[in-house]
Structure 1
Amino acid sequence: MLFNMLLQWSLPGTGGPTPEASSGELQHPAMPNVEVMTGSSVVSSTMVMAKLPFKAAEAQAGQPVMFRRQEENWLRVTELKGERRTFAYVIRQRL
Structure 2
Amino acid sequence: MQTYLVEQMQGDDVITVRVINAPSPFKAAAMSTDRHVTLRRWEKDWIRVTDENRGHIFAYSFVSDANPDNSGLAIAPNKSRKAQKADQGRE
**Pairing of 1:13-52 with structure 2 (within 5 A):** 29-52=1-24
Among candidates 58, 70, 74, match of residue 87 of structure 1:
58
**Pairing of 1:7-18 with structure 2 (within 5 A):** none
What's the CA shift string for 1:41-95, capped at 9, x where partnerless?
111111001010000000011122101111000000000112x111111111136
Q: Are 1:61 and 2:16 an aligned pair?
A: no
- Structure 1's consecutive aligned runs of 4 or more residues displaced over 2 angstroms after TM superposition are none
TM-score (norm 1): 0.65
Separation in 2, partners of 1:42, 1:65 = 17
Q: Are 1:76 and 2:48 an aligned pair?
A: yes
Q: Is the 8 A contact 1:61 1:91 kept in 2?
A: no
Separation in 2, partners of 1:34, 1:44 = 8
Give the secondary structure class of the aligned counterpart of 2:65: coil
Separation in 2, partners of 1:34, 1:48 = 7
The count of residues paired between Structure 1 and Structure 2 equals 66
* Unpaired runs of at least 5, structure 1: 1-28
* Unpaired runs of at least 5, structure 2: 67-91
